[in-house]
C-alpha cells in the first residue's frame, strides 16, 4: 500500500478537493452516491480509501451509515473538518488488510472503492488480499463495488511507454507504463504563480476487468453487474472505465 507521507500527505490533501476532474463534478458525485445507496439496501457501507469524504459524506446524507479505511491522516482530517464528518468512523490503515470490528453493528451490506483506488495497491498480492478482506466484512448478499480505468495500453505508440493525460498552462501529467509487470507511475508537474515548477509521482498497478473477476472468485464473490459508468451505461470494448459489482452469495 502507498505510504502516507510519500504520496497522500498534507501537500496532496490540502488541494485534493480543488481538483477539476470529472469525478469531482457535482452531478457525477450525486449519481455515484445514488447508486451506492441503492446497492447498500438499507445496510451499512464500508469505503476503502475514504480520503476526504468526497463520496462518503453525500452517501451518509442519504441515510447510509458509512465507515472508512484510509492510511492518510492528512486526508481524513479533511473529513473531520466538513459538516457531518464527525459522524463517519474511520480506521487508519492499509485497506488490503485492516479490519473493522463488526461485533456490535454487524457486517456491511456494501463495500466500495472509487476512482481507480484499487490500483493504489501496487502488487497483485495486495489486490487479492483486498478482495478477501472485503469478503470477510460483507454480509451474505452484500456487494463490493469498484470504479476503475480500463488500462489505456492502446494509446501507447509502438516502442514507447508513456501516455500523457493532462496538459494546461499551469501543469501537465503523464503515465509511464511497464507492460510486463503491470506497474505504472503517474508523474505530475505543476507550475506555481511564481513560475517555479513542482513535481511529484504516484505509483500504481493497473488491473484488467477479467483479472478483477478472478480475484473476486478467489475471495468467494461473483460478478453481478459491470457498467461503463455510474449511469449504468453498458460496458463495451470502447469503454475507458468500468463500475463493477460483485456479490457475496447468500448460500
Q: Which CATH architecture has domain 153-202?
A: Single Sheet (2.20)
Residues in the chain: 251
Candidates 3.40.50.970, 3.40.50.300, 3.30.465.10, 3.40.50.150; CATH matching 4-151+207-247: 3.40.50.150
Q: Are 45 and 67 in contact (CB under 8 A)?
A: yes
For the chain, what percent of residues have pLDDT higher than 90?
Answer: 75
Given strand 241-247, what is the order of strands in its sheet?
89-92, 66-70, 45-48, 108-113, 138-149, 241-247, 222-227
- The 10s digit of each residue's pLDDT in 174-189 is 999 999 999 999 999 9
Tell me what pLDDT residue 8 has: 63
User: Is the Cβ–Cβ distance between 120 and 2 less than 8 Å?
Assistant: yes
Q: What value does the mean pLDDT of the chain take?
A: 91
Calculate mean pLDDT across residues 50-74.
95
Ordered by start, the domain boundaries in the chain are 4-151+207-247, 153-202
Name the pLDDT band for 166 (thresholds 50, 70, 90).
confident
Identify whether the C-beta of residue 130 lies closer than 8 Å to the C-beta of residue 48: yes
- The pLDDT tens digits of the residues spanning 94-103 come to 999 999 999 9
**Lowest-pLDDT choice from 169-178, 207-216, 234-243:** 169-178
Beta carbons of 111 and 45 less than 8 angstroms apart: yes
Tally Cβ neighbours within 10 Å of residue 49.
Answer: 24
pLDDT given for residue 158 in this prediction: 86
Please say if the pLDDT value at position 5 is more than 50: no
Q: Residue 12: which pLDDT band, with cuts at 50, 70 and 90?
A: low
Rounded Cα distance, 92 and 225, in Å: 30
Please name the helix (run of DSSP H) or strand (run of DSSP E) that holds residue 194, with its range, or none. none
List of residues 6+ apart from 80 with CB closer than 8 A: 86
Q: What is the pTM of this model?
A: 0.91
Query: What's residue 19's pLDDT?
Result: 62
Distance CA 62, CA 70 (A): 22
Average pLDDT of the segment spanning 138-147: 98
* Predicted local confidence at residue 244, as pLDDT: 98
Amino acid at each position: 500500500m502507498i505510504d502516507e507521507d510519500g504520496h497522500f500527505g498534507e501537500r496532496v490533501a490540502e488541494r485534493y478537493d480543488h481538483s477539476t476532474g470529472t469525478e469531482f463534478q457535482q452531478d457525477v458525485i450525486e449519481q455515484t452516491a445514488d447508486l451506492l445507496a441503492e446497492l447498500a439496501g438499507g445496510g451499512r457501507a464500508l469505503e476503502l480509501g475514504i480520503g476526504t469524504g468526497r463520496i462518503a459524506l453525500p452517501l451518509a446524507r442519504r441515510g447510509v451509515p458509512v465507515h472508512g479505511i484510509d492510511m492518510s491522516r492528512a486526508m481524513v482530517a479533511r473529513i473531520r473538518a466538513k459538516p457531518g464528518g464527525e459522524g463517519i468512523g474511520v480506521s487508519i490503515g492499509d485497506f488490503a488488510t485492516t479490519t473493522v470490528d463488526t461485533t456490535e453493528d454487524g457486517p456491511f451490506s456494501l463495500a466500495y472503492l472509487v476512482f481507480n483506488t484499487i490500483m493504489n495497491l501496487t502488487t497483485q498480492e495486495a489486490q487479492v488480499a483486498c478482495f478477501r478482506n472485503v469478503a470477510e466484512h460483507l454480509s451474505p448478499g452484500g456487494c463490493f463495488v469498484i470504479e476503475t480505468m480500463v488500462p489505456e495500453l492502446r494509446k501507447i505508440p509502438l516502442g514507447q511507454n508513456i501516455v500523457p493525460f493532462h496538459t494546461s498552462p499551469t501543469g501537465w501529467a503523464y503515465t509511464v507504463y511497464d507492460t510486463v509487470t503491470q506497474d505504472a507511475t503517474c508523474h505530475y508537474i505543476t507550475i506555481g504563480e511564481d513560475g517555479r515548477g513542482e513535481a511529484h509521482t504516484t505509483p500504481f498497478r493497473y488491473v484488467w476487468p477479467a483479472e478483477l473477476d478472478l480475484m473476486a472468485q478467489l475471495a468467494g464473490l461473483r460478478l453481478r453487474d459491470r457498467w461503463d459508468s455510474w449511469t449504468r451505461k453498458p460496458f463495451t470494448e470502447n469503454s475507458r472505465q468500468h463500475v463493477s459489482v460483485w456479490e457475496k452469495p447468500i448460500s
